[in-house]
Amino acid sequence: MSHCADAPERAGEVTGVQVARIALIGNPNCGKTALFNALTGSRQHVANYPGVTVERKAGLFTTPEGRTVRVLDLPGTYSLRARSPDEVIARNVVLGRVASEALPEFLLCVADATDLRLSLRLALELRALGTPMALVLNMADIARHRGIVIDEQKLAAALGMPVVSSVAVRKAGMKGLLAFLDEKLSRPLPEPVAAADWQAPDRHGLRDLQREADRLIAVCVTLPAQTYSTTARIDKVLLHPVAGLVVLFAILFVMFQAVFTWAQAPMDLITDLFDWLGVLAAQYLPHGPVLSFIRDGVLNGVGSVVVFLPQILILFFFILVLEDFGYMARAAFLMDRIMGGAGLHGRAFIPLLSSFACAIPGIMATRVIDGRRDRLATILVAPLMTCSARIPVYTLIIGAFIPDKDVFWGVQLQGLVMFGLYALGIVAALGVSFIMKRLIWRKAQHDPFLLQLPDYKLPSPRSVGIGLYQRGKAFLHRAGTTIFSMMIVIWALCSLPLPPKDTVRPAIDYSAAAWIGHALAPVFAPIGFNWQINVALIPGMAAREVAVAALGTVYSISASADDPGHLGGVLAAHWSIATALALLAWYVFSPQCASTLATIRRETGGWRWAALVFVYMLVLAYGSAFITYQAACAFGLG
């Protein structure tokens, strides 16, 4: 089987080859994306909780017998009676209601073999559409392990469609499915006809379908005598109202300690690498603007961001393992009461959790929330979650200003401060949503929070590996594109116009950057920012971590002979603690990410909510930096 990820969006673009169009549809968390990845070789995000995929993804693959297939991965849904925006996407695709997407010729209805009730009901709903389809019993490995026996032939006869089993997370588990597809595609599929008069089943219709599904299960499935209870045993502890919360906070705490302690050695290695490249550049390039551009602009700017790669990978290692284990849905359950008190829906937890990576996937993940108000409330606070772009800013300042010492029992102060900054973001999100709810949606009612808790699974090293690879790639990609191009601008602003020949002052004092930084001084002086920080804030609008790169370049160009070599050391020598703390407070809240605002605009259908987010975050950022700076000065830290 050969494959191709990120395939062209439309089948017609594969010229001269007959392409079959199939779609994967099924309940949330049954392994559709894992199957999609196995077929196409893509690396889409897979995790053990419902609602991971919220948009359709297309991929191409070639079957063992050489047929080209275009496959769609769809968001999970329990029924075609779609409620939330992600379910609407899945429904519209199979009904042929998406303008840019041809109707699939064949549907693979993916089911979790360990829990067929709702899957079979969906299969019965889909069958009524008339599109040729098959039922895939995925997670066959777990079903076998638990002693669940499904009579596939009987089920196929009763359903009137082929039934195949698969283990999507193992290549070998895909053989049967691929052979089936080859056999199916050996004859041309009839051109599908959209069910124009399709009507969503009402509650009674669904109940009848459920009754039929339950009947099929009674006839075709043999369940083991005693129920499998590892999940229940673990949940006794992890879902306990007190013990569960203690475990949750302990996990988060260990995570942030690890971010600092484990990352040190690889970070030193990356710093050494960039230093070495700088020395190399100085050896081979003549002194002048080219060397300054390479060393001060590119190596110092980009290098000061790339060095945070190990910390980002460590943080996501924890998150990905917990996700794949099945813990995150439990965390959502534990947090539901706290979040409900603040006016957030329980379903907001996973989108907010995704926002720790980046607010953009987080905001997109709110598509799993069906009420528009609940969804908007989550979108409004998602940018307050500490995204990975803040990590470079936080760790740079913490590393430079917070002493590296143990507070008690091996708990390290720097990790504690980092934990505090994350907690501050969360508390702020709860507070903002609490206030918004009082101001904007006074009468809003919550639907009850229903989330199917998945069974625990051993995390798959492949899924975790894919997740880490994607995160690392995205981070380095930004360093190589956004940050790199911003660095060219910053370097030019810091180097031009050229200083007069006989000056004794640093060249940067004559530059456009200094002029801009000084012009902004009246605005930012009350919060303790110097002109160098003011300069860094502007390109930081593109992406937060650019600010770190910009500081790297500004201070590298203005470096005097007695400055310590690394950015952290330079900052410690030039800033007061009050300034450093104010900048941390600023970054917890600042709306400095143009792409997040653009995503909010897209997902809410207008600039209104994006503007609200920008304004409230700016007010919070300025206000908290002001209070922090003034308070720190009052304590003599200015």
Contact partner at residue 28 from ligand GTP, Mg ion, none, CB < 5 to 8 Å by partner kind: ligand GTP
> Site for Mg ion (CB under 5 A): which residue of 40, 53, 311, 482?
53
User: Residue 525 CB, nearest distance to ligand GTP (Å)?
Assistant: 49
Q: Are 454 and 326 in contact (CB under 8 A)?
A: yes
Window 7-46: residues binding Mg ion (CB under 5 A): 32-33
168 interacts with ligand GTP by CB under 6 A:
yes
Least CB distance to ligand GTP at residue 490 (A): 40
CA 431 to chain centre: 23
C-alpha torsion angle, residues 618, 622, 628, 633 (rounded to 10): 160
Nearer to ligand GTP, 80 or 421 (CB): 80
Binding span for ligand GTP by CB under 6 A among 43-51, 213-221, 280-288, 537-545: 43-51
Q: Which of residues 104-143 bind ligand GTP (CB under 6 A)?
A: 138-139, 141-142
Structure tokens at 485: 């191009």
Which residues are CB-neighbours of 548 under 8 A, at least 6 positions away?
304, 305, 392, 393, 396, 536, 567
CA-to-CA dists, residue 4 to 93, 237, 518, 548, angstroms:
22, 43, 52, 37
Give, in order, the Cα–Cα distances in Å from 125 to each of 18, 25, 416, 437. 29, 12, 52, 38
The residue type at 586: W
Which of 31, 278, 425, 552 is close enough to bind ligand GTP by CB under 6 A?
31
The binder of 273, among ligand GTP, Mg ion, none, by C-beta within 5 to 8 A per type, is none
Shortest distance in whole angstroms from residue 207 CB to ligand GTP: 24
Q: How far is CA 421 from the centre of its chain?
A: 19
Nearest approach, Cβ of 59 to ligand GTP (angstroms)?
Answer: 13
- Per-residue mark of binding to ligand GTP, 425-454 (x: CB under 6 A): ------------------------------
**Distance (Å, whole) CA 71 – CA 346:** 32
Q: Which does 169 bind (CB under 5 to 8 A by kind): Mg ion, ligand GTP, none?
A: ligand GTP
Minimum CB separation of residue 38 from Mg ion in Å reads: 12
Measuring CA to CA, which residue among 192, 193, 229, 140 is closest to residue 20?
192
Which region, judged by CB under 6 A, interacts with ligand GTP, from 163-171, 260-268, 276-284, 300-308? 163-171
* Contacts of ligand GTP in 466-525 (CB under 6 A): none
The Cα 53–Cα 50 span in angstroms is 8
Using the rule CB under 6 A, which residue among 460, 558, 579, 628 binds ligand GTP?
460
Among 19, 21, 33, 577, binds ligand GTP (CB under 6 A): 33
Q: Report how far apart, in Å, the C-alpha atoms of 334 and of each of 235, 328, 453 are.
A: 11, 10, 12
Place of tokens 């808790």: 453
Instruction: Tell me how many degrees the CA angle 163-169-175 measures, rounded to the nearest 5.
Output: 50
Instruction: Please identify which residue in 52, 124, 174, 578 interacts with Mg ion, judged by CB under 5 A.
Output: 52
For binding to ligand GTP (CB under 6 A), which residues are involved?
28-34, 46-48, 50-53, 75-76, 138-139, 141-142, 167-169, 324, 457, 460, 463
For binding to Mg ion (CB under 5 A), which residues are involved?
32-33, 52-53
